[in-house]
Amino acid sequence: MYDDIIHLAMDQQLLTEIRERDAANYKKMPFWKELQNSANTSQLEQKLMSEKQLTFEKIFFKEPVGYHLMKSFLINEHSVDKAVFLSDVEVFKTLQDPRAREQVASKIFSRFCAPQKEEDIWNIDSRNQGLSVFEKIEDVNGKEGKGDDIKQKKKKKFVEHRIEEQQHHEEKDTDPLKYRMSLLTENTNNIGVYGRPIERLKKRIEEEAIVNKEIFNEVAEEVINDLRLDVFPRFVKSRWYQMYLRCQAYIEEKSQTVTIRDFYQMRMLGRGAFGVVNACKKKDTGKLYAMKQINKKRVQGTDSIEAIMSERNFLADIGIGANDCRFVTSLKYAFMDESTLYLVLDLMIGGDLKYHLNHEKVFNEERSRFYAAQVLLGLEHIHNKHIVYRDLKLENVLMDDKGNIKLSDLGLAVRMRDERGEKKRFVDTPAHLEGMRGGGARFFFPSTSPKKKKKMWFILECRFLCGKKPFQSVRRNRAREPQKDDKQRNQTAELDRNVVEMEPSFPLEYFSANARSLVKGLLCKNPRKRLGANGIHEIKQHPWFDSADFGLLEAGYLDPPFIPSLDEIHAEGQQSIGRPPQDDMFNKLRITPEFEKSLEGFTYINKVIIQEEIVEVLKKVNSLEGKRQGHHQDNTAGDLPPYIDNALQPNGERQSCMARCLVV
């Protein structure tokens, strides 16, 4: 009874944290309080300048905090679309699917490069300043009356800025009035680039069969030059730059070390072979994560250090910050104490697909197709990193709060090539290599990349179509009874034999004709004839995926068919999770110095993630300030603290070392 009350309280604690993420008072966060106290940043600025860390390219392209604060500065300059355009182009270059590049290229051109209509120029709100093509438009309900006066002032300032900007690109007409009107009605776009570069870009988007990743380079270079030579010198004289330095001071301090004391631990979400997974909250920024806790003694006792270090390295390699694949979890932090190894990962609030399938028995074909397509894109990203996943099962496909899924747990993954670039060989059971292993059905199919000439394995999860494993025998469908070791070995041998010899059935009530064709192709015994043998495009082009737009899916435009409720925990009850089997047998084991030495390099801090946490706090603080003042603020830097050092300009603002260096 007591345990039930504790478990219920922990469930409610996690649900409250999830629901109140946007409503929390971020001004009470330790990060914000420390930011208020970091007044003198001159020494840090001089240090960063000497290391050439305060360049436009470094601040704008490499640091989320720098990009966010420069974007905030540009909002007041009515040039924020230039920053968003460059950011969208960088994301565009990461898209793997040719259809995704084609569709997103058209959206970027239409949003930023196409000439504006006259009514859009005068209507500031219709321009959706600062809106990325990867963001969904949300309605903002502002107050009338006084806000209209503010809009008129913004309109006047915006028009003056447009006229000044256009003067760099066109010659003046003899009639001043005619000239001023033509500047506002002809060839005006959101990024201030006109003429032949835009014409060439439009022609390439319309005519090229496959849109090249570098298609925006010419136009982007003009925007970069404008920001570097005109905007950046003014940015370093602004209060946003001072906020940037304060954030850098905080990052310098916090990126040195992370320990378990930096997190609040919450409800247990699951367990694995070496320990448990808990939800957790980072104390300084309030960010929610999942924390995988691995028992050191169990790792040493089972001689599994190589597997643990491989998983840590693979999770770190998957992606960094904004360049993470949206379909694979990645590592945020890794650290250890005397008894435990910790991996901090994405918190997937929606639970895993096994939990949902157990509750719903089967998924309809639309939902199955959506998950299968996202799994396929996740595997494509993993294989592009030269990693073989090898452990696709329902428990390892996790769902976020929006209903999108990510692959997790790279504990069984291997690299396809060694340090010298040579192919690596690995040995496994027929059941694992051909299709399934224990908890869920997995379908493996090889592919040869014509460019890299390497054998790759693509995996597709489709058990959710019928709720059954394709190679299980009739006996496996019966209720499980306690088995002796010899009987378990017999069942494993039977499973291996079924994978090699058995032809699975596809009941008509679950599988459409195209679904049967897809699964049969993936389960073909002959690897040379197996679907996907000539590349992942074979699978994407299968008729079952005709209604799945991989381009829009990769770009994040498609809405999931199911959104998990935030009123319940999508995981098994804590009393059902239990401890790893035979956990007590390792308690008396003593950690050896050799084992500790083998853990060198385990610690990991993703500095980009720290910056993204800071940006989230800055946005939340600004949102709270906007609500307090009764209007929507353009200044997304938040309520900036006062400057208290000596380098002040006549207007009371601090002049930075960088700004003084730029004064001629």
DSSP H/E element including 578: none
Tens digits of residue pLDDT in 238-265: 999 999 999 998 888 888 899 999 999 9
Q: How confident is the model at residue 472 (pLDDT cuts 50, 70, 90)?
A: low
Shortest CA distance to 521 belongs to which of 553, 543, 497, 494?
A: 543
Question: How far, in Å, CA of 418 to CA of 311, rounded?
Answer: 16
Which residues, listed in sequence order, are joined to residue 340 by a DSSP beta bridge?
295
Q: Tell me the pLDDT band of 465, cut-offs 50, 70 and 90.
A: low
- Per-residue pLDDT reduced to its tens digit, 188-240: 788 989 899 999 999 999 998 888 999 999 999 999 999 999 999 999 999 99
What pLDDT digit, counting tens, does each position of 581-607 carry?
A: 566 778 888 999 999 999 999 999 988
Q: How far apart are CA 516 and CA 279, in angstroms?
A: 39
The more confidently predicted of residues 465 and 180 is 465
What is the phi/psi pair of residue 512, to 5°? Answer: -75, 175
* List of domains in the chain: 1-25+251-348+575-664 (3.30.200.20), 55-235 (1.10.167.10), 351-565 (1.10.510.10)
Query: Mean pLDDT across the stretch 88-103?
Result: 86
CA distance 573 to 389: 28
Q: Does 292 count as an annotated binding residue?
A: yes
Which pLDDT value is given to residue 323? Answer: 53
Average pLDDT over residues 472-498: 54
Distance CA 328, CA 315 (A): 9
Closest by CA to 535, choosing from 463, 461, 453, is: 453
Q: Are 212 and 60 in contact (CB under 8 A)?
A: no
Q: Tokens representing 115?
A: 């000439």
Comparing CA positions, the residue from 270, 327, 317, 279 lying closest to residue 413 is 317
Q: CA–CA separation, 654 vs 328, rounded Å?
A: 43
Highest mean pLDDT among 23-27, 137-141, 357-361, 435-439: 357-361
Query: Tens digit of pLDDT for each residue in 537-547?
Result: 888 899 999 88
Q: Please calculate the CA angle 361-367-372 and round it to the nearest 5 degrees.
A: 100
Q: Using one digit for the tens of pLDDT, what is the confidence trace for 405-436? A: 999 988 888 887 665 555 555 545 444 444 33
Q: Check whether 630 has a pLDDT greater than 80.
A: no
| Whole-angstrom distance, CA of residue 418 vs CA of residue 411 | 18
> Residue 163 — very low, low, confident or very high, per pLDDT cuts 50/70/90?
very low
Mean pLDDT across 526-530: 84
Tell me the percentage of the chain whose pLDDT exceeds 70.
67
Q: Where are the beta strands (DSSP E) in 73-194?
A: none
pLDDT interval class at 170 (50, 70, 90): very low
135 conformational bin, left if phi > 0, alpha if psi -120 to 50, beta if neither:
beta
Distance between alpha carbon 630 and the CA centroid of its chain, in Å? 32
Please name the residue ranges forming H helices in 413-484.
Answer: 430-434, 474-477
> Is the Cα dihedral 354, 360, 364, 367 positive or negative?
negative
Please tell me the number of Cα atoms within 13 Å of 281 on its side-chain side. 18
- Report DSSP state, residue 417: B
Q: Which residues are catalytic?
A: 391
Distances (CA, A) of 566 to 23, 25, 70, 329: 15, 20, 34, 21
DSSP for 596-620, please give it. HHHTTT--EE-HHHHHHHHHHHHHH
Count of CB atoms situated within 10 Å of the CB of 4: 11
Q: Which of 8-12, 506-510, 648-652 has the lowest mean pLDDT?
A: 648-652
Average pLDDT over residues 362-376: 90
What integer pLDDT is reported at residue 265 of this predicted model?
Answer: 93
